[in-house]
Amino acid sequence: MSNRNKRYLKTTDINKAVVPPRAVLMIMMLGTALLVYCKYIFGNSYWIFYDIGSDTWNEYFPALTMLAEKIRSGDLSTWCMNWGTGVDLANNQSIICDPFNIPLVILYLVGGRWAMAYGLIYVHMAKCLLTGYITFLWLSEFKLDWNGRVIGAYVCAFNGFLVLWGQHYFFATACVFMIFDIYLIEKTIRDQNKSVWMIISIAMTLATSLYTAFPIALACVAYLVLRLLSLVNVWNTKRIIRKLATIIIDVIVAVLISGIISLPAYYQLTEVSSRIGGQMSVPLFFDLATLGGIFTRFFSNNLLGIANNYIGPLNYYELSQLFFSCLGPSMLIIFFVEKIHRDEKRWLYLILAIIAGMMMLMPLGGAICNKFVTTATRYSYVYIPLMAYAIAWFFSNFRRLHKDTRIIVFCTTVVSAIMLCFIYIKHVRANTQDRSILDVYLTVIVICLLTFAVMIISDYKEKGKNRFIASAVFCIIIFSVIADSAITSLIRLNITSDSTYTKNVEDTSQILRKIRTDDKELIRIEKTYDDSFYNDALLENYLGISYYNTTFSKYVQSFMTEVWPKTVNVGGNPGYVTFNADAENGGMASLFGIRYVLSKAPVSDCYSQIENLADGIGAYKNENSMGLGRIYKNVMRQSDFAELTEVQRQKALETSLVLQDFDYELNRMNTVETQTAVKVFKGKNSSHMMIKAESSTPGYIFVPVTWDRGWRAKVNGHQVKLYRADIGFQAIKIQSGKNIVKLDYKQPLQREGIIATISGLLCIIVLLYLKRKRGISS
């Protein structure tokens, strides 16, 4: 390699540190993590929230418990019977396939659910530390001072998105994989022998979550293109094209390797899930109040005392998290001004500045980076590389800043401080719960901004003063990160070890075990009191119908909206369904096979009490429930059903099965078989069910389990058609007499995924062989 190439590609360390920089970074990050998360490490609080980040309470922790329980019981099937009315686990890929779940599952197997709950914060801290450490490794590939690399990595380890949104859909994992992918892309650009590691990293990114992989892919493509463009004067065109082609081939191999997980997940996302198709129009996001809220996110990521105030899709919690210390915006401005003003590739930085500015200050970023959800603000972790490099570059080039840059930074910091005060007073102060803490913190932010402006505008040509100013800025950034992250963490509303909910879970475990022992059939159980999770069935391993998941089956959501809207969450979002909103509706409870109800108050006459538990919880039996299945003799077209009112629809379902297509020769008797006619049993795992039914005439067996193309049905050993019934569930046609029905689930695209993964692994073996052969020949 020529000297010119080495000047651009060789890693150098301008300033030699007495203490190894990695050790300095790890000490800083570990100390900060202990301060920020002391409430969870040393107290009795779990990393499980019930404020506006309540997904950990209602979904993630119950889902982790379910996953661990399936592993403990040996049920390794991909279908989950107790997640709502049943769902393929690939539908919730972001939660289930996170590799950081492994230590949590081990904790569950060793110490139970609450041991796993205590472990959540340590896993989150590990993600923060990994994000910072990998960022440091990536920055070390460039000609940057050690202190710049350390502070750039440190700020990104505790950026606003990771600290506030790290638990949400396990986005902290996305932060780790994104910077790791970019780091390995950089290593591959420099050394082709690193491409295997890049392939593995990208494959893991896709296998972990398609939801987060999409923004990561956009960030990686942008980085690769800009990085190769930066080498135009270093490499010839042929070499750049060859390098790009090689990386594209590696990415294709990575996609193939991930196929065993990503292909079934893709099917669930596009064919079953309700996630796609709910985007909001881009003009809706261009709102002055929204832009003002986004602006505050540059300087602070905490919830400012309104942790339980969630109003609309663009509320203060959902706004883009852009906090990379309170001085991050000024350093980003410095970086772009200097590069555009002085760098020979100013056109490249001008393009990057325009793209970054548009995506930060206007929610176009959401429209581009998030195609899976209504709220378009869950993408700002893609800024980690940009902010890390800008901050590291600032400290590495502190002495060489242009005079014009100092004036610009001074103006922007002063204006930013004034705007921050204005926005705080006008939009936030009236809603705060603890103004004393916030007033102190606001004062600290303003002081930091003004101090930094004074430092920049001052003359710092002398070496000693340079060191003092750099050290002062260094300390301000650390203080800003610790203070803001601590407030973010401490004001969250979370579950504790002595909370009412944890006690209720333990109190109901005994009766649930008794019910499962006495009733061998597949039956459903529900709760009617409020202090419970939507997904209690996951947490306590029983079958229910309530669910908290916006990616659930669009067919089941259509049924709940059209037929049983009272169970749909306030606001009409069918992604959240709770039985206790209409627990008195015995007819619908019977339709879904809910045979037992746990309640703290008397329920309707259709339930009879069978046992009293602690704290006033009673167990009641639904005498009208026929279990998880019933035989219908009467059928109705789905188009005719749609013309009925809500009350008429519920009444019709008592005697009629709703189908899109059916056998007109079927004898219509307007009757439903008795309770003893149908018994549903679990097979060897959750992907198998067996039904024993006896009927005097032909009919349909209705099973209130989520319809999915992966289900197959056999009646008395013969393959039969499985119908989508009652909008989102299953039905099987049977003949008169005794019938044994077997339902088996095979994940759609699973075979294709296995073939793709095997093909990808074979490609890696071939690539390794060719590289080894090339190395020997050279």
The alpha helices in 275-402, defined as continuous H runs, are: 288-296, 328-342, 346-361, 364-369, 384-396
Residue listed under structure tokens 């930094």 = 452
Give the tokens for residue 194: 């690193």
Distance of alpha carbon 387 from the chain centroid? 23
Kindly give the parts of the chain with pLDDT less than 70.
1-19, 52-53, 192, 275-293, 302-317, 361-364, 370-377, 402-410, 412-470, 530-533, 550-551, 570-573, 613-615, 661-677, 774-778
> Distance between CA 613 and CA 515 in Å, rounded?
13
Terminal Cα-to-Cα distance of the chain (whole angstroms): 15
In degrees and rounded to multiples of 5, residue 379 shows phi and psi of -135, -5
Residue 452 amino acid letter: F
Q: Residue 745's pLDDT is what?
A: 95
Name which of 439, 461, 496, 516 is nearest 682 in CA terms: 516
Q: Residue 3's pLDDT is what?
A: 44
Q: Residue 247's pLDDT is what?
A: 93
Q: Residue 751's pLDDT is what?
A: 94
Name which of 186, 261, 257 is nearest 764 in CA terms: 257
pLDDT 10s digits, 665-701: 444 545 555 444 688 888 888 899 999 998 888 889 9
Q: Residue 675's pLDDT is what?
A: 42
> 51 near 307, Cβ under 8 Å?
yes
Q: Residue 468's pLDDT is what?
A: 65
This model's pTM is above 0.85: yes
Alpha carbon separation from 174 to 155, 161, 166, 274, 343 (Å, rounded): 17, 11, 9, 22, 32
Q: Residue 757's pLDDT is what?
A: 96
> Distance between CA 150 and CA 140 in Å, rounded?
10
- Cα torsion 56, 57, 62, 68 to 10°: value is 50
Q: Residue 541's pLDDT is what?
A: 87
> 22 near 133, Cβ under 8 Å?
yes
Following DSSP, what letter does each residue of 194-249 receive, concatenated?
Answer: GHHHHHHHHHHHHHH-HHHHHHHHHHHHHHHHHHHHTTTTTS-HHHHHHHHHHHHH
Residue listed under structure tokens 């079927």 = 666
> 353 near 338, Cβ under 8 Å?
no
Q: How many CB atoms lie within 10 A of CB 222?
A: 18
**Backbone conformation region of residue 325, classed left if phi is above 0, alpha if psi is from -120 to 50, else beta:** left
Q: Are strands 711-715 and 87-88 parallel, antiparallel or unpaired?
A: unpaired
Secondary structure E strands in 623-770: 630-632, 634-637, 656-659, 678-682, 688-695, 699-703, 711-715, 718-720, 722-725, 729-734, 737-745
Q: How many CB atoms lie within 10 A of CB 513?
A: 13
Q: Residue 329's pLDDT is what?
A: 85
DSSP 83: S
pLDDT 10s digits, 613-650: 666 778 888 877 878 888 988 888 888 898 999 899 99
**Backbone conformation region of residue 570, classed left if phi is above 0, alpha if psi is from -120 to 50, else beta:** beta
Give the tokens for residue 559: 């049924």
Q: How many CB atoms lie within 10 A of CB 288?
A: 7
Name which of 699, 696, 692 is nearest 655 in CA terms: 699
Q: What angle do CA 79, 84, 85 make, to 5 degrees?
A: 70
> Distance between CA 244 and CA 220 in Å, rounded?
13
- Which residues contact residue 614 at a Cβ distance below 8 angstroms, ignoring those fewer than 6 apart? 507
Give the tokens for residue 511: 């009766």
